[in-house]
Amino acid sequence: MPARLGNLLVLGGAGFVGSHLCERLVSEGHHVTCVDNLATGSLANIRHLMKTNRFSMVQCDVAKPMKFSGKFNQIYNLACPASPPAYQADPIQTVKTSVLGAINVLELAREHDAPVFQASTSEIYGDPLHHPQHEADWGNVNPIGPRACYDEGKRCAETLFFDYHRVHGVSIRIARIFNTYGPRMAINDGRVVSNFIVAALQDKPITVYGTGAQTRSFCYVDDLVDGIVRLMNAPDDVTGPVNLGNPEEFTVRDFAELVISLTNSRSEIVYLPLPTDDPRQRRPDIGRAAELLGWRPTISVEAGVRRTIAYFDAILQRPDRAYCVNQSNVELSQLSY
């Protein structure tokens, strides 16, 4: 059931997923306050929303305590870089964003007596021991590797959410999000979907890391946003964690072939070293989301990738409008753009 019209807070709202969530909430008639430090997000993602009188933007760091006038009815925390090159560029800030950010967001939820959503991740499962991944799996994460700033930060955030729930009665909602893609991904953020599409559209080499036998399951952003909104508006006892993702699973190599064929590209595949601790397989068990939220993805990978190709094609025609992550934040050697 949709929330009564309200005053909602979206942290990380200028990012890829956050901007789609803000758009959905504004379109439902809510007033949305977006908080973002623009580390990997962009004003270009939310400029159209700023033209409405139901959207405002505050530039600040969630790792620092926040104070707002007025009262929020719902709080969504998506603030955190999600692309491996972006979150590894400043790993200490990534941990602070997840851990101090969670504490600050949970304190806001207490103060405003508002339910709070946490964008957690399939990285909780690390290099998974079971396949597909079920919420009951505790995960297999290297705590000292280069991905740990993200994985362990998100794991600690889940811990904090449950501790605030048990100790202070905060109403929490946790989604473990699997690889999500779509329009407004930063053209240079280094994730596989944007890297492959941008390279294919320019007939440049497609960079497959390792043998490409590792798998991922790709969810279109509109489906994810629908799951997030359903979770937030579910009864209070639906705390999660709930997996949100599309179980359509591809090897990275097969995904490269799909992108080449959908773009009619002349790109060749080149093989580069596999990043440290790259999970070997990932597919969500979405039984819990189906049962508790009546949710399942509706957009096939082929349909979603076609839409994303159209988006990047338009962006490449107008490079002045391209939304790029601040290049100094990103390890350029990992980007194919």
For 163, the token pair is 């501790």
Residue type, 42: S
Strands (E), 112-162: 116-121
Beta-bridged to residue 57, according to DSSP, are 34
Neighbours of 130 (CB within 10 A): 11
For 57, the token pair is 């933007």
Report the nearest approach of ligand NAD to the CB of residue 183 (Å): 12
Tell me, yes or no, if 150 is annotated catalytic. yes
Q: Is 106 in the site for ligand NAD (CB under 6 A)?
A: no
Residue 216's nearest CA partner among 238, 245, 237, 239 is: 245
Q: Are 46 and 16 in contact (CB under 8 A)?
A: no
Q: What is the CA radius of gyration of the chain?
A: 19
Q: Is 180 in the site for ligand UDP (CB under 6 A)?
A: no
Q: Is 14 in the site for ligand NAD (CB under 6 A)?
A: yes
Q: Return the one option of ligand NAD, ligand UDP, none that residue 278 interacts with (CB less than 5 to 8 A, by type).
A: ligand UDP
Catalytic pick from 87, 125, 150, 323?
Answer: 150
Q: Is 180 in the site for ligand NAD (CB under 6 A)?
A: yes
Q: Which position among 191, 230, 283, 288 is part of the footprint of ligand UDP (CB under 6 A)?
A: 191
CA torsion, points 228, 229, 231, 233, in degrees to nearest 10?
160
**Total binding residues toward ligand NAD, as defined by CB under 6 A:** 27
Per-residue x/- mask for ligand NAD, residues 50 to 89, rule CB under 6 A?
Answer: -----------xxx--------------xxxxx-------
Q: Return the one option of ligand UDP, ligand NAD, none that residue 145 interacts with (CB less than 5 to 8 A, by type).
A: none
Mark the segment that binds ligand UDP (CB under 6 A) among 26-34, 94-102, 107-115, 188-196: 188-196
* Helix runs in 126-190, H state only: 148-168
Give the number of C-alpha atoms closer than 13 A to the C-alpha of residue 2, restricted to the C-beta side: 12
Mark the segment that binds ligand UDP (CB under 6 A) among 71-79, 97-105, 209-217, 239-247: 209-217
Report the nearest approach of ligand NAD to the CB of residue 266 (Å): 28
**Total binding residues toward ligand UDP, as defined by CB under 6 A:** 15
Q: Is 278 in the site for ligand UDP (CB under 6 A)?
A: yes
Q: Is 209 in the site for ligand UDP (CB under 6 A)?
A: yes
Q: Are 234 and 2 in contact (CB under 8 A)?
A: no
Question: In this complex, which beta carbon is closest to ligand UDP, that of residue 19 or of residue 336?
Answer: 336
The enclosing H or E element of 175 equals: strand 172-177
For 181, the token pair is 């893609």
Q: Return the one option of ligand NAD, ligand UDP, none that residue 15 interacts with (CB less than 5 to 8 A, by type).
A: ligand NAD
For 144, the token pair is 């000292």
Is the peptide bond preceding residue 81 cis, with omega within 30 degrees of 0? no
Q: Are 99 and 156 in contact (CB under 8 A)?
A: yes
Binding site for ligand UDP (CB under 6 A): 83-84, 179, 191-192, 195, 207-209, 214, 216, 252, 275, 278, 336
Annotated catalytic sites, by residue? 150
Binding site for ligand NAD (CB under 6 A): 12, 14-18, 36-41, 61-63, 78-82, 97, 101, 119, 121, 177, 179-180
